Amino acid sequence: MGFLLRSDCADAWCHFCAPAGARVTLAVVGTAGSVRFASARYGEMELVAGPEAEEVSFTVRPGRNVLTAVYVFSHGAEGRGRLCERAPDGRLQVLEEDLRGDNEVRGHRICGV
Amino acid sequence: MRRTVATFLFVCALGRGVELCPALKEALAAYRLETDAARKERLLRNVTEVERYSRCYVEFVHATLGYKDFLRRIEALRTDRQWGAGPSGAGGTTLVARGAAARTLSLAAEYGAITQSASGQVITFRGNLAGLPAALVRRDVFPYCDPRTPKTEQPGFCVESSWLGQLRKLSFGVSFDAARSAGPLSADPVPAGSGTASVVRFAADRTELSSFDLRYEIWNRKDSSSRLFQQRWQAKLAEQSRIPELARGLSAAFEPVFEKLGASQAYAGWQAETRERIRTASDPEGALRSQMSRLGMLLLEENILTAEEVGELRRLLSRYGFEQDELMELAASQPVIAVEYSYNRPLLQVPESGVRFVFDLPMSKRWSLAVNTAWTFQHGASAGAVSRGRGLKDLELGAQAERFLGTLPSLGPATLGAAGYVQYRNSPPVLRAPGRDAVPGETGTIAAAQLKLTLGPPGGVRIPLAVSYSNRTEWIAAPAWRVQLGLTYDFDFLFLP
């Protein structure tokens, strides 16, 4: 099974879209220092159980939804990273090239289609 | 209506003077340089997304709404600090001092002695000069100079992280001997050269201050690029609670904003209009600034955010930035060399001063090595035999290897340390019991070894448990096995948000 999230969505509102009901795993990779999820809320649920996480998983809800993520960077304002989708076989697909330490709160629009 | 128009014009006028954040400036520069049409359009779309540049937009809207509120910040927890009394105290669990001290204020109650004849109970307050301003930033008393905010948008007075870095180098400790006022204390002084012990009862001395010290970190090793730094950062992130708490507060605060923005036709219209203006503008940065200054009004009119909520988001972002910077500083900065001056008032002896050099060498993620060397001088002049107690009292050398054992269930982070210590007594200690002749001790060498387990259950508490062996003590020329116990509390936890 491959990647589920796409960026070429029919609805221009969406940053990414995936089949509704699909289980998706997002991972972060640091490009300048380390980056982690400090918090991630999707459908009013907190996805980060501990103090931080390298990955979060959730089930894609139908329609337009926002994943609100707060990242923590080891290099503070200079920290940079990538948001990726992790496939069940472990491969990574880059979704966002530009996670930044000076804009740690992000709203990712994810549509279930 | 007239009021809305006037406010709109006022806000637009303010917006022209507000500086864009570096992230948006970089994004606009990338947009200008991009030649591929599809990528250029994607970059343009990104620039107009509050969801992507949340901090930039909040800062800008806050500035255009004319706010001048303050930003606050906090401090973190370390397991490698010097919490309690130093090695010279009558009640202490430490044979070899560590380089870093408490970041705000710590309180340690310790019982035991290692090279002293009489075990004492010592309560030590230890603090750091950066602790107070950092706590005030966290309590929103002083603003923080957030490097994520353009300089022009920072308050007139704010606490620089570089100031905190300098203040953090200076720490202090004050120890009180709880046993001094609790009643008579027994000890076994040894007359010089006698080789036999005799018991002497000391009268209680009502003065409780037993020692104080000042410590300056001469050299801090800065390392923010190595693998070891990444490991330390991750470990410290996992063991502290401020960042997760603030992050959850931020995501809970931003979630409804992002949802309302996503559903707002007015916001979508503003994005389309902004993109068009940037496309056709000779000065894209000016065009974006002008549009961003309109956004504040739009957010208010669409009930997406109130002015108070904008201020609160900014405050949360600032505190979150502060905590990240503090965590980075904590993981990157490793004290290597510190110098400490201590003034000690041993019971029924002349006061003494000491200068100690502390070398703290983190060897790996789990291992650290600390080396101390100290010179102690006695104060005051006395007659006869007592005068022999003047001048250089002793020389000390100690080393401690410590291993981080990991985080134990219910017991928290645990470390195991093994230390060795040698003290050469140049001048004999002199006991001056009231109503008795002065009794000098002996010169010579005292050697001691200690094994110490430190547990750190949640809640800012540290429990050091140690056992030590010495070939003799200051008064008794016989080997001694001792147990040292302690309980320390880190007041940083009181300053949690």
Q: Residues B184-234: pLDDT tens digits?
A: 444 444 444 443 444 444 444 444 778 889 999 888 777 677 777 888 788
Q: Which long-range contacts (CB under 8 A, 24 or more apart) does B383-389 make?
A: B384/B438, B385/B192, B385/B430, B385/B438, B385/B440, B386/B350, B386/B430, B386/B432, B386/B438, B386/B440, B388/B427, B388/B428, B388/B430, B388/B440, B389/B349, B389/B350, B389/B427, B389/B428, B389/B429, B389/B430, B389/B440
pLDDT in the model for residue B10: 44
A53-62, A70-79, B177-186, B223-232: least confident range? B177-186
Range ranked top by mean pLDDT from B5-19, B144-158, B416-430: B416-430
Q: Residue B21 and residue A102: Cβ atoms within 8 Å? A: yes
pLDDT at B453 over 90: yes
Average pLDDT on B146-169 reads: 80
| B17-37: burial string, b at 16+ Cβ within 10 Å, e else | ebbbbbbbeebbeebeeeeee
Average pLDDT over residues B386-403: 79
Asked which of B80-84, B166-170, B268-272 is least confident by mean pLDDT, the reply is: B80-84
Mode of pairing for the β-strands spanning A16-18 and A105-112: parallel
Name the percent of chain A in helix, strand, coil, to the closest 5. 5, 60, 40
- Cα(B88)–Cα(B66) distance, rounded to whole angstroms? 56
Cα(A84)–Cα(A35) distance, integer angstroms: 12
B7 pLDDT exceeds 60? no
How confident is residue B110, by pLDDT bands cut at 50, 70 and 90?
A: low
User: For B325-334, what is the mean pLDDT?
Assistant: 82
Kindly report the pTM of this predicted structure: 0.68
Q: Which of B229, B241, B324 is facing A72, going by the closest CB pair?
A: B324
Q: From CA B18, how far away is CA B12, in angstroms rounded?
A: 10
- pLDDT tens sequence across B47-99: 999 999 999 999 998 888 764 433 333 233 334 445 455 555 555 566 666 65
Question: Which residue in A41, A102, A109 is closest to B252 by CB distance?
Answer: A41
Distance from CA of B375 to the nearest CA of A (A): 40
Cross-chain CB nearest to A68 (options B21, B56, B251): B251
Burial class (CB in 10 A: 0-12, 13-18, 19+), B266: middle
Cβ of B148 within 8 Å of Cβ of A36? The answer is no
- Asked if B65 and B307 count as a contact pair (C-beta separation under 8 A), the reply is yes
Distance between CA A44 and CA A42 in Å, rounded?
5
CA-based R_g, chain A, Å: 13
Give the number of other CB atoms < 10 A from CB of residue A33.
20
Least CB-CB distance to B23: which of A33, A76, A103? A103
Assess contact for B371 and B347: CB atoms under 8 A: no
**Cβ A104–B243 below 8 Å, yes or no?**
no
Q: Residue B183 burial by CB count (10 A; 0-12/13-18/19+): exposed, middle or buried?
A: exposed
Query: Distance (Å, rounded) from C-alpha B159 to C-alpha B203?
Result: 50
Which of A28, A45, A52, A70 should one mutate to test binding to chain B, selecting the residue with the greatest count of B CBs within 10 A? A70
* Position B314 pLDDT exceeds 70: yes
pLDDT tens for each residue of B458-482: 666 788 899 999 998 877 788 989 8
Tokens of B110: 């310790």
Q: Which of B52, B238, B250 faces A70 most closely, judged by CB atoms?
A: B250
Token reading at B212: 């104080």
Q: Decide if A105 and B54 are in contact by the 8 Å CB cutoff.
A: yes
- Under 8 Å CB-to-CB from A54, ≥6 apart: which residues? A27, A28, A36, A37
Helices assigned H by DSSP within B218-345: 227-239, 242-263, 265-280, 284-301, 307-332
- Interface size A-B, in CB pairs within 8 Å, comes to 124
Cβ contact A68–B262 (<8 Å) = no
Tokens of B69: 């509120």
CA distance B154 to B145: 6
Question: What distance in Å separates the CA atoms of residue B176 and residue B401, rounded to the nearest whole number?
Answer: 28
Contact B79, B413 (CB under 8 A): yes
Alpha-carbon gap, residue B295 to A90, rounded angstroms: 42
What's the confidence (pLDDT) of residue B196? Answer: 40
What string of DSSP letters covers B118-159?
Answer: S-EEEEEEEEETTHHHHHHHHTTSS-B--TTS-GGGS-SS-B
Q: How confident is the model at residue B288 (pLDDT cuts 50, 70, 90)?
A: very high
| Residue A5 binned pLDDT confidence (cut-offs 50, 70, 90) | very high
pLDDT of residue B169: 84
Q: Which residues contact B135 (CB under 8 A, 6 or more apart)?
A: B74, B75, B104, B495
Question: Does pLDDT of B322 surpass 80?
Answer: yes
| Cα distances (Å, whole numbers) of residue B57 to B19, B149, B467 | 11, 11, 58
Q: What pLDDT does residue B90 have?
A: 52
- Lowest-confidence segment of B130-144, B273-287, B296-310 by average pLDDT: B130-144
B-chain residues near A74 (CB < 8 A): 224, 229-230, 233-234, 328, 331
Q: Quote ipTM for the complex.
A: 0.95
By CB atoms closer than 10 A (0-12, 13-18, 19+), residue B283 is exposed
* Pick from A51, A64, A77: CB nearest B147: A77
User: What φ, ψ does residue B486 adopt, rounded to 5°?
Assistant: -155, 165
Q: Which residue has the tokens 């116990």?
A: B485
Residues of B in contact with A66 (CB under 8 A): 51, 255, 258-259, 262
| B205 vs B114: CA distance, rounded Å | 22
Residue B386 pLDDT exceeds 60: no
Chain B residues inside the 8 Å CB shell of A69: 251
What CA–CA distance (Å, rounded) separates B215 from B480?
31
Nearest-Cα residue of chain A relative to residue B223: A75
Q: Do A105 and B317 touch (CB under 8 A)?
A: yes
Would you state the structure tokens that stand for residue A9, as one six-digit string? 């969505």
Is A75 within 8 Å of B230 when comparing Cβ atoms? no
Q: What is the mean pLDDT of residues B335-363?
A: 86
Which residues of chain A neighbour B241 with C-beta distances below 8 Å? 51
Please report how many Cα atoms fall inside a 13 Å half-sphere around the Cα of residue B143, on the Cβ side: 17
- Structural contact between residues B378 and B350, judged by C-beta atoms closer than 8 angstroms: yes
Assess whether pLDDT exceeds 90 at residue B383: no
CA dihedral A46, A48, A52, A57 (to 10 degrees): -140
DSSP calls for B332-380: HEEEEEEEEEEEE--TTS--EEEEEEEEEEE-SSSEEEEEEEEEEEE-S
User: What is the CB neighbour count within 10 angstroms for residue B198?
Assistant: 10
